[in-house]
Amino acid sequence: MLTGTIKGAAGERHRRCVTWRSAWQFGAAVALARQVAAQSGVVLGRCYLTADAASPIHSLSGESIYIEPDAAAGGHSKVLVMGQPVVVYGEDGRPQMKAGMVGALLTRAGAEAISPPNIEASSERSFVSFDPHGTWDVVWLQRSTQPPSVSAQYARFDGHAWSGVQRIGVIPGLASVGSGVDAPMARSGRDVGVAVPLLQNDSGGAIALFLRRRGQWTSSLLASETGSGVAYASLLLGRSATYVAYVSGGTPPTNGSNALYIRVQHASVWSGPTRISDQGAFEPRVLELDGLHPIVVWQQVADAGRHARRELWMARLNPDGSLQGRPARITAEGGLDPSMAFAELADSAVLALAQFGGPDRREQRFIRITREGASEVYRDSVQAATAVILARQDSATYRAIWGRFRPGGVMLPESMSRFLHVRCRR
């Protein structure tokens, strides 16, 4: 017997008590409940979420558009997506590709392909953050062969025009950048920063940190505790400290390697590493709930061989980076996609978007994470999706963005999105 509560479109609550006679009836009822939830909303603590249907992203002139996203951030009813490449399909269906690292400015009216000035073909791996004063901060990496190095470039976008490009730091030597560079740019007020994992540089594995504090950029290397490569890294500029979560090991992860660590900086001094997970970790995100409570969320490989599966885990941290209690598993099902996306809610919670499933069909699940735990709030099936990102478009609207192959047997990709509307009580 199952008792459920569904919130109707007019706000009334219908309480239903049903005895399920078969698995088919139960599955059909769950599908119906999800459909009702998508149309009329889901209660998230003090917040209330409704999800629009997914739809393709088009240019302002109506053509289908595709961008392989690295990062996105939104505000003032616009979302800036950075990645490569941008493909626009004309009326004849032929693709027109924009070379190099480019961006797309998304509004409800459509998308406009844009690029920072003097962008080079060797540019890659971008980070984006929205300044509440109305501009976007963008950082990307650029490779050079003479001499061999990887530099970090910065530009600001005001919604109409770009500032000049500024080089903010250099990683010397033949640096090998880890795959986990899709973690978002960290922000605290006007201060911003990015963490770039290095599988190898002239002195072994490390995390390259590029920080802007009080208007001045600095760069530094935080060495791996064992000298081994760093595959993934995530940075948090907390209210009282700076946190770096990173995975020491290789890519792709296995259940016999890739330990997860956290390090904390107080008064310019970094603590020694605290090990969060012994093996199989990847894609960590260090987040702060309500500006006070740091947590780490990551994916982990469980079991081994043909039966290996990916799980979502969370650990609560004390301000000094030590563990508060034991890590907790959020999901126990396999097939988790390597990409995750997060957005802050107004009630001391984080909304996570994770994708499950295989290459042909995937399921997007929205999970509300608090200090007390996590709960799934909405899910929907999508066609063969690429990496997914989540951006806050304005004070009450979020936008999930991903790619898929266009239907009809034509193997051409297009970008998809759905709007999520969140209302919270104070």
- Pairwise CA distance, residues 375 & 297, whole Å: 14
Would you say residue 74 lies in a domain? yes
Listed in sequence order, the residues at least 6 apart from 305 whose beta carbon sits closer than 8 Å to its beta carbon are none
Would you say residue 262 lies in a domain? no
Q: What is the mean pLDDT of residues 181-200?
A: 85
Instruction: Tell me which DSSP letter residue 54 carries.
Output: P
Q: What is the mean pLDDT of residues 178-182?
A: 62
Would you say residue 276 lies in a domain? no
Quick check: 41 and 47 in contact, CB under 8 A? Answer: no
Question: In this predicted model, what pLDDT tens digit does every residue of 372-400 receive, in sequence order?
Answer: 888 888 888 877 666 788 888 888 889 98
Q: What is the mean pLDDT of residues 329-341?
A: 70
Q: Choose the weakest-confidence range: 13-27, 39-53, 124-138, 225-239.
A: 13-27
Domain count along the chain: 1
| DSSP one-letter string for 223-248 | E-SSS--EEEEEEEE-SS-EEEEEEE
Parent domain of 146: 49-174+335-344+378-426
Would you say residue 137 lies in a domain? yes
Quick check: 126 and 83 in contact, CB under 8 A? Answer: yes
The pLDDT confidence band at residue 204, using thresholds 50, 70 and 90, is: low
Would you say residue 112 lies in a domain? yes
Would you say residue 256 lies in a domain? no
Would you say residue 78 lies in a domain? yes
**Predicted TM-score of the model (pTM):** 0.83
pLDDT at 132: 84
- Pairwise CA distance, residues 192 & 195, whole Å: 11
Quick check: 279 and 258 in contact, CB under 8 A? Answer: yes
φ, ψ for residue 180, nearest 5 deg? -85, 60
| DSSP one-letter string for 55-67 | EE-BBTTS-BEEE
Would you say residue 161 lies in a domain? yes
Q: What is the mean pLDDT of residues 43-65?
A: 82
